[in-house]
Amino acid sequence: MKCHNRIDLRPSRRAVLSGAATAGAALLAAPFIARAQAAEIPIGVLLPFTGSQGAYGPDMRKAAEITTKLINDAGGILGGRSFKLFFEDDESSPTAGLAATKKLLEIHKCQAVIGIWGSPIAMAIKNVLIQANTCMMVSGAANAITDGDTKGLVWRYQAKATDWGPGMAKAMLSRGWKRVSILAQQNPFVIPMIEPAKKVFEAAGGQVVDSVVYNPDQPSYRAEVQRIFGASNPPEAVMCLGLLTDFVSIVREVVRNGYKSKVMALSIAADAEGKFIQAVGPDVAEGIEHFQPSPPLGSPTYARFQKLMGADENALFLFAGNTHDQVCTLALAMEKTKSTDSPVFTKAIREVCNPPGEVVGDVVEALKKVRAGSKIAFAGAGSDCDFDERGDQLNRHFGHFRIEKGKQVLVQVIKGPEGTL
Amino acid sequence: MTAYLVTILILVCIAIILGLALNLQWGLCGMVNFGMAGFFALGAYAAALVALSGAGTLAGIVVAALICAATCGATALVSLRLSDEYLAILTLGFGEVIRLVTLSESWLTGGSLGLPGIPRPLWGWVSEQNYELLFLALLVVVVLALFLVLEVLIRSPFGRAVRAVREDDTVASTLGKNVTMLRVKAFAVGGAIIGIAGAFHAYYLTYVDPSQFSAIITAYTFMAVIAGGRGSNKGLLFGAATIMCLIEGSRFLKDIVQVLDATQLASIRLILIGLGLILFLIYRPQGFLLEYRLRSSSLLARSSLNGATRMHDFKQEAS
């Protein structure tokens, strides 16, 4: 019987080959699927749609699509050529992000890769893009992304991580909180915020009572919350540096135990495009304050962007605006240099973005002015889009908010030279 | 197109090396290793640190293999009396410990920022454009070498004894085999191979950080081994390639399907990968190929040709 079974189980060569052939078919079919029209300019958009960062991708995708439609409908660039976007999911993983980037470069022949939310993913694909002489526009904050020889190809649409800490500390000091604790996630963009923040507190005569760094994806944060919030002499406020999922658990734990210390979080966690209040409800969220490099709130460009996204004037888009700006600056720099070649058009990014020049926020109007030869300073919906020579942001806005009755209320906007306030 | 295929093939090769290691530990010896991702990280970090210190990339591979072999051997020794589920829990915990160490000991591992700028082997031998092809060639050589070594190992007395331990360790020990040492050896050799895979991963990405070594790596490796047919290294080559084709090939889905948007398709893609694997296991639970077995018919045919030496082999097999 046993012997009979074994004979049954042996696969035929045909079965093995057909299995392998089916699996390989998709790969072989690839070049025929992806051949784009010659006139279109292929742009790769690498975003997290799944995995731990999956919540941040969809709005950025929408912004990229809307902005591209705006440009293409107005006649495109370079005398009628239009942008064609290719989206890839980085699965919140550097290895998957790398494979996806290779697909964007090799199959779709993308002239630039934009989006790029997570810092580890940006770090993993940076060398590949630089080697391929392809422009890379990121929303990641880790300082290391723009370090080293980038050939001028790497552009950051987010404030550098080391610039966040001092700003947040100053915002907390402005609320009169001097005895504070820090509860931070072990994460490449969060950790560099801690030391600069501590220095600002100490310089202002404040005190950082305790700080705890926790690991992402923990099943519970009870021990950390008890140590920080439940201390015998609890701090006036706690600086919570984390992402949405861990912050939701932390806040629930704080409320359940009735701890009284105020909470100051990153907007990426306490707003997360509205997902935080959805998760915990307005009662639990009441009174939580948050801070982050923000869009230029109140500016005409941002107001227009909110309308484009189909949102009301209270909507806070932390990353979608960056994607909008990435598409716009690509178009402007390509139009300016009459080239879709990354090493060429990246040289003009500062020229069309930085002052001096007429401040323009509408990309269609900005394109007309560039064609007419006038000097403009593009102001985006995610930031004012001013860059230093390394591709890092200048003149960044930081927003300080409070959650009241389920709504985000702006406490103050701080704009600082060099992002240091 | 070529460079994309080269990337996929490099990832397949690394997956195959990991699969070969698991096939030795679990397929052949029956020791479940749920800490693959952790040991993989250990190898990657060891190689990265050695290479970054300037000792050379070859030294990095050797050190990664040695450290992973020692750690895996020690894990097997610690789990002396543990088998099956208990060993699974222990390795799972051990892998997690390694991940937490890489995350927390930032003086050594750079913490969550990771280690950038890792040197690559044979860098500068060819132009930058052709380098990945050279890297792939190097990896193929390594895969073939490991494959041949393991095929010889499986057919050796050691391989037979290890399989005997897998089938029934009491019987093996009754027949005078040192079950503990066999398990430690098999696990350590598997560990060395995981270390080599880790080293090549670090060299290929030139950047390591803890988020690269999530538990999904362990899951994909088990899938590759199961799809290939547990215990069969030849099957594993198909298994690993199929898994990677499924993962990467499904990226092209959204280039064909225009009805759904990119966000929805990204989620559907992961569901389809899971569905593909479930269907595969339903219709081919034994995997692509079966493991190598010594057959009495072939043995008898050979023994009639060369009776004396073959009888010696046969006795060893029986013991």
pLDDT at B82 over 70: no
- Burial (Cβ within 10 Å: 0-12, 13-18, ≥19) of residue B285: exposed
Rg (CA), chain B: 21
A212 in contact with B, Cβ within 8 Å: no
pLDDT at residue A7, rounded to an integer: 44
Question: Helix (H, G, I), strand (E, B), or coil: what is residue A414?
Answer: strand
One domain, residues A93 and A196: no
One domain, residues A305 and A274: no
Residue of A91, A259, A287 whose CA lies nearest to A183: A259
- Is the Cβ–Cβ distance between B249 and A26 less than 8 Å? yes
One domain, residues A176 and A284: yes
Q: Do A94 and B262 touch (CB under 8 A)?
A: no
- Is the Cβ–Cβ distance between B197 and B64 less than 8 Å? no
- Burial (Cβ within 10 Å: 0-12, 13-18, ≥19) of residue A37: exposed
Establish if A36 belongs to a structural domain: no
Cα separation, A415 vs A205, in Å, equals 23
Q: Which residue has the higher pLDDT, B308 or A216?
A: A216
**If one looks up domain B2-318 in CATH, what number appears?**
1.10.3470
Residue of A108, A136, A132, A103 whose CA lies nearest to A122: A136
Distance (Å) from the alpha carbon of B169 to chain A's nearest alpha carbon: 22
Which among B114, B245, B270 has the least Cβ separation from residue A27?
B245
Residues 171-210 of B with CB under 8 A from A: 205-207, 209
Residues 289-308 of B with CB under 8 A from A: 289-290
For position A342, which CATH number holds?
A: 3.40.50.2300
One domain, residues A288 and A406: yes
Q: A12-21, A188-197, A351-360, B189-198: which has the minimum mean pLDDT? A: A12-21
pLDDT at residue B113, rounded to an integer: 79
Neighbours of A292 (CB within 10 A): 24
Mean pLDDT of A173-180: 91
Distance (Å) from the alpha carbon of A24 to chain B's nearest alpha carbon: 6
Q: How open is the CA angle B228-B231-B234, to the nearest 5 degrees?
A: 50
pLDDT, chain B, mean: 86
Q: What is the pLDDT of residues A118-158, one digit of tens each?
A: 888 999 999 899 989 999 999 988 888 998 889 999 999 98
Helices (H), chain B: 2-22, 36-52, 57-78, 85-104, 106-109, 131-155, 157-167, 169-174, 179-205, 216-228, 233-249, 253-256, 262-283, 296-305, 307-318
pLDDT at residue B245, rounded to an integer: 84
Question: Helix (H, G, I), strand (E, B), or coil: what is residue A212?
Answer: strand
pLDDT, chain A, mean: 85
For the four alpha carbons of A355, A359, A361 and A364, in that order, the dihedral sign comes to: negative
pLDDT at residue A11, rounded to an integer: 53
Distance (Å) from the alpha carbon of A290 to chain B's nearest alpha carbon: 23
One domain, residues A125 and A233: no
Which among B103, B216, B241 has the least Cβ separation from residue A186?
B103
- Is the Cβ–Cβ distance between B190 and B202 less than 8 Å? no
Question: Helix (H, G, I), strand (E, B), or coil: what is residue B55?
Answer: coil
Establish if A231 belongs to a structural domain: yes
Q: Which residue has the higher pLDDT, A396 or B300?
A: A396
pLDDT at residue B249, rounded to an integer: 82
pLDDT at A30 over 60: no
- Is the Cβ–Cβ distance between A346 and A153 less than 8 Å? yes
One domain, residues A169 and A210: yes
B257 in contact with A, Cβ within 8 Å: no
Which among A11, A49, A148 has the least Cβ separation from residue B266?
A49
Cα separation, A161 vs A193, in Å, equals 6
pLDDT at residue A27, rounded to an integer: 45
Q: How many domains does chain A have?
A: 2
pLDDT at residue B272, rounded to an integer: 84
Q: Which residue has the higher pLDDT, B44 or B114?
A: B44
pLDDT at residue A15, rounded to an integer: 55
pLDDT at A44 over 90: yes
Cα separation, A293 vs A383, in Å, equals 9
| Cα distances (angstroms) measured from residue A32 to each of A29, A279, A302, B249 | 6, 44, 40, 14
pLDDT at residue A93, rounded to an integer: 87
Neighbours of A36 (CB within 10 A): 13
pLDDT at residue A38, rounded to an integer: 47
pLDDT at A419 over 70: no
**Please, what's the b/e burial string for A326-341 (b: 16 or more CB within 10 A of its CB; e: otherwise)?**
bbbbbbbbbbbbebbe
pLDDT at B318 over 60: no
Mean pLDDT of A244-255: 91
β-partners of residue A359 are: A377
pLDDT at A314 over 80: no
Q: A254-263, B154-163, B255-264: which has the minimum mean pLDDT? A: B255-264
Mean pLDDT of A399-411: 89
Residue of A174, A170, A182, A166 whose CA lies nearest to A261: A182
Distance (Å) from the alpha carbon of B10 to chain A's nearest alpha carbon: 10
Task: List all residues 6 or more positions away from B160 whose beta carbon is below 8 Å from its beta carbon.
Answer: B294, B316, B317
Q: Do B4 and A107 touch (CB under 8 A)?
A: yes
Q: Do B284 and A11 touch (CB under 8 A)?
A: yes
Q: What is the pLDDT of residues A78-114, one digit of tens each?
A: 888 999 999 999 988 888 999 999 999 988 999 999 9
Establish if A7 belongs to a structural domain: no
pLDDT at A283 over 50: yes
Q: Which residue has the higher pLDDT, B260 or B304?
A: B260
Rg (CA), chain A: 24
Mean pLDDT of B147-160: 93
One domain, residues A319 and A380: yes
Q: Which residue has the higher pLDDT, A15 or B300?
A: B300
Q: What is the pLDDT of residues B83-114, one digit of tens each?
A: 667 888 889 898 889 988 988 888 888 877 78
Q: Which pair of structure tokens corresponds to residue A84?
A: 């064609």
- DSSP codes of every residue in B257-298: --SS-HHHHHHHHHHHHHHHHHHHHHH-TT-SSPPP---HHH
Residue of B288, B275, B271, B247 whose CA lies nearest to B12: B247
- Is the Cβ–Cβ distance between A394 and A386 less than 8 Å? yes
Using a CB-CB cut-off of 8 Å, the residues of chain B touching A147 are 116
Residue of B42, B41, B21, B39 whose CA lies nearest to B31: B21
One domain, residues A208 and A277: yes
- DSSP codes of every residue in A135-179: EEEE----GGGG-S--TT-EEE-S--HHHHHHHHHHHHHHTT--E
Mean pLDDT of B167-171: 88
Distance (Å) from the alpha carbon of A238 to chain B's nearest alpha carbon: 22
Q: A34-48, A277-291, B17-31: which has the minimum mean pLDDT? A: A34-48
pLDDT at residue A4, rounded to an integer: 46
- Is the Cβ–Cβ distance between A105 and A44 less than 8 Å? yes
- Is the Cβ–Cβ distance between A408 and A265 less than 8 Å? no
pLDDT at residue B306, rounded to an integer: 57
One domain, residues A230 and A370: no
pLDDT at residue A33, rounded to an integer: 42
Cα separation, A341 vs A347, in Å, equals 10
pLDDT at residue A25, rounded to an integer: 52
pLDDT at residue A421, rounded to an integer: 40
- Is the Cβ–Cβ distance between A124 and A98 less than 8 Å? yes
Mean pLDDT of A191-200: 88
One domain, residues A190 and A287: yes
Establish if A15 belongs to a structural domain: no
Establish if A32 belongs to a structural domain: no
Instruction: Determine what percent of chain A is predicted with pLDDT higher than 90.
Output: 47
One domain, residues A150 and A226: no
- Burial (Cβ within 10 Å: 0-12, 13-18, ≥19) of residue A11: middle
Cα separation, A125 vs B246, in Å, equals 22
Q: Do B211 and A24 touch (CB under 8 A)?
A: no
Q: Do B111 and A186 touch (CB under 8 A)?
A: yes
- Report the side by side order of strands in the sheet with A154-156: A83-89, A41-47, A112-115, A135-138, A154-156
Parent domain of A214 = 161-292+399-415
A66 in contact with B, Cβ within 8 Å: no
A18 in contact with B, Cβ within 8 Å: no
How high is the ipTM of this complex? Answer: 0.80
Would you list the domain boundaries of chain B?
A: 2-318
pLDDT at residue B135, rounded to an integer: 94
- DSSP codes of every residue in A347-404: GGHHHHHSSSSEEE--HHHHHHHHHHT--EEE--SSS--EE-TTS-EESEEEEEEEEE
The percent of chain A in helix, strand and coil, each rounded to the nearest 5, is: 45, 20, 35
pLDDT category of residue B304 using cuts at 50, 70 and 90: low
One domain, residues A380 and A329: yes
- Is the Cβ–Cβ distance between A228 and A199 less than 8 Å? no
β-partners of residue A413 are: A399
Q: Which pair of structure tokens corresponds to residue B212?
A: 């690269």
Q: Which pair of structure tokens corresponds to residue B89?
A: 């829990």
Mean pLDDT of A257-274: 88
Provide the 8-state DSSP code for A292: E
Question: Helix (H, G, I), strand (E, B), or coil: what is residue A238?
Answer: strand
- Report the side by side order of strands in the sheet with A179-185: A207-214, A179-185, A237-241, A262-266, A289-293, A396-404, A407-416
Cα separation, B248 vs B242, in Å, equals 10
pLDDT at residue B64, rounded to an integer: 97
Cα separation, B234 vs A360, in Å, equals 62
